[in-house]
Amino acid sequence: MSQSFRVPSAILRFSFRYDGSLLQHSNKRKHQLAGHLPGRFSILGGAYQYRVCNNMATTRAAGALSKDSLWEWAQKDERRMLHVVYRVGDLDKTIKFYTECLGMKLLRKRDLPEERYTNAFLGYGPEETHFVVELTYNYGVDKYDLGTGFGHFGIAVEDVYKTVELTKAKGGKVTREPGPLEGGSSVNAFVEDPDGYKFELIQRDPTTEPLCQVMLRVGDLDRSINFYEKAFGMKLLRKRDNPEHKYTIAIIGYGSEDKTTVLELTYNYGVSEYEKGKGYAQIAISTDDVYKTAEAIRISGGKITREPGPLPGINTKITACLDPDGWKTVFVDNQDFLRELE
């Protein structure tokens, strides 16, 4: 069943951010509409009418599948990590660091003054095929608490030593000098961007996906692995315990580490909770069916924070969720995402 309500004709423009808040505004006025309601806009009798479509038939069809069927489908679904969203205090300064020190390219930038924020997308290739970062600058906010849960981003480079020297020359902060990892031969280093987000520089041969890793800390590693395998359809690529330093990591993703972006989940012995902070926001992942995705997440113990359906105004279908540790992910319909980029 659908329901309607009237919206003043003075409202001129609608925009939706993947963080789940629909903002509409005319001139200096802003009004918050229930952005969690999927639907479409039409004009009836000279006024705007918002028709809320619950997509009940689609939702019921997804819910009728068994757990095993949904988990099997999630493994076969066409998925890719699209981008990671986080907030920065000085957009131009951050863009300069990423392009000059880390070798990224500014792909696009959009300013929404009526909503008082600006986005910039950066990466090593087009959004259609590469994992990218989406930086968000909120007007008037120059600093964020990064919390204790977010770890770092990983970037594969051909020469860690050369990248570190370039970072130093540009005034960047190096928190770990280049060298082999403990107990191994891989060369890495750590640098910080102007907001304090850490980047691990990993020495590797040339790769199609240099922005190769997002590290998050979790309170129960086995629980997280089980959730990401079943709900997200990811695969456990490797797991390594380091009792000397009292932590264990698990690498999970949709493909091999040297060709795709992966998640590194880190469990520190005896730590079950972390502060999320206000900086890191979420990861976006593509899917062929947001309705089945939401149901697979629900039955796997995840929390749906936005029910699956199209975004008002642009009709891009998404769903949003929290994992058992509270890390947010947004799933975006594959075809709708590509259409948006066009």
For residues 88 and 131, what is the distance between their CA atoms, to the nearest angstrom?
19
For residues 254 and 233, what is the distance between their CA atoms, to the nearest angstrom?
8
In this structure, the number of other CB atoms found within 10 A of the CB of residue 138 comes to 15
Tokens describing residue 4 = 């309607």
∠ CA 22-28-30 to the nearest 5 degrees? Answer: 25
Q: How far is CA 158 from the centre of its chain?
A: 26
Residues 6+ apart with CB under 8 A from 268: 217, 246, 247
For residues 312 and 15, what is the distance between their CA atoms, to the nearest angstrom?
8
Question: At how many degrees (to 10) do helices 290-299 and 67-76 cross?
Answer: 130
Three-state SS at 20: coil
User: What are the residue ranges of helices labelled H in the chain?
Assistant: 56-63, 67-76, 91-100, 160-169, 221-230, 290-299, 334-341
Which member of 78, 114, 134, 200 is catalytic?
200
- 114 given a catalytic annotation: no
Residues 6+ apart with CB under 8 A from 308: 38, 55, 58, 59, 290, 291, 293, 294, 317, 318, 319
Residues marked as catalytic: 200
